[in-house]
Amino acid sequence: GTAVLWGFLVLWVAPVVEGEEACECPKATILQTFPSAVSSGACCLNYSGSSFGSVKWSLFSQLQALKILDLSSCNITEIRDVAASDGLLLRELFLNHNRITLLPEHFLANASNLRAVHLEDNRLDRLPDHFLQASDDLEELHLDFIRPSALALGLLKPSLQKLELGNNSLDCTCALIETLQGYNKPQGVNVTDWSRVLENLTCASPENL
């Protein structure tokens, strides 16, 4: 049978990066259909609890003022209209608690300002090859309950301060294990209770882990 990865990494979260303006999100605007237009000057768009199904990503990708986008619990099944050149200025993205099964190949590939990404509780069998490749300042990555079979090492940024992988079935390659162990070394981030995480780590493959 398939083993389940119950372990997760939890670390302290840093405050807003120095020099960045704070952005306060409004209460959720709950919609039954995806909007045809949004405010170009908003620093936060909160549609949590809406019912979108399909999301046209190009509506958000060119918004220069947008720092926080909350699309959690929006019954999303697909994200479309993603361009390879999209250079989002987003700091925080919430796509958790949806029904997404596949992310477009270039999704968030050039999102260099991202600090936090929430993808937990979706139905993703895999993540795009270039996912978060430019997000070198990423501090939080929530991937629990998404069911990927493999995890690209490029997602494990040295800047990470919080990583959640619980309740997934992963191919635990030697490179993946060594990279995760590296977070416990002095040059890495200070992982909280690493020994417990390591003890709880089980994998779909290889069979001897």
**Res 12: pLDDT:** 31
Neighbours of 21 (CB within 10 A): 7
Cα 178 from chain centre:
21
- 199 — pLDDT class (breaks 50, 70, 90): low
In the predicted structure, residue 196 carries a pLDDT above the cut 90? no
Identify which has the larger pLDDT, 173 or 19.
173
First vs last Cα of the chain: how many Å apart? 13
Higher pLDDT, 149 or 61: 61
* Per-residue confidence (pLDDT) for residue 16, from 0 to 100: 43
Instruction: Report pLDDT digits (tens) over 69-81.
Output: 999 999 999 999 9
What is the number of residues in the chain? 209
Sorting pLDDT into bands at 50, 70 and 90, what band is 122?
very high
3-state SS, one letter per residue, for the chain: CCCCECCCECCCCCCCCCCCCCCCCCCCCCCCCCCCCCCCCCCEEECCCCCCCEEECHHHHCCCCCCEEECCCCCCCEEECCCCCCCCCCCEEECCCCCCCCCCCCCCCCCCCCCEEECCCCCCCCCCCCCCCCCCCCCEEECCCCCCCCCCHHHCCCCCCEEECCCECCECCHHHHHHHHHCCCCCCCCCCCHHHHHHCCCCCECCCC
Which stretch, 2-6, 67-71, 202-206, has highest mean pLDDT?
67-71
Structural domains in the chain plus CATH codes:
1-209 (3.80.10.10)
Asked whether the beta carbons of 140 and 9 are under 8 A apart, the reply is: no
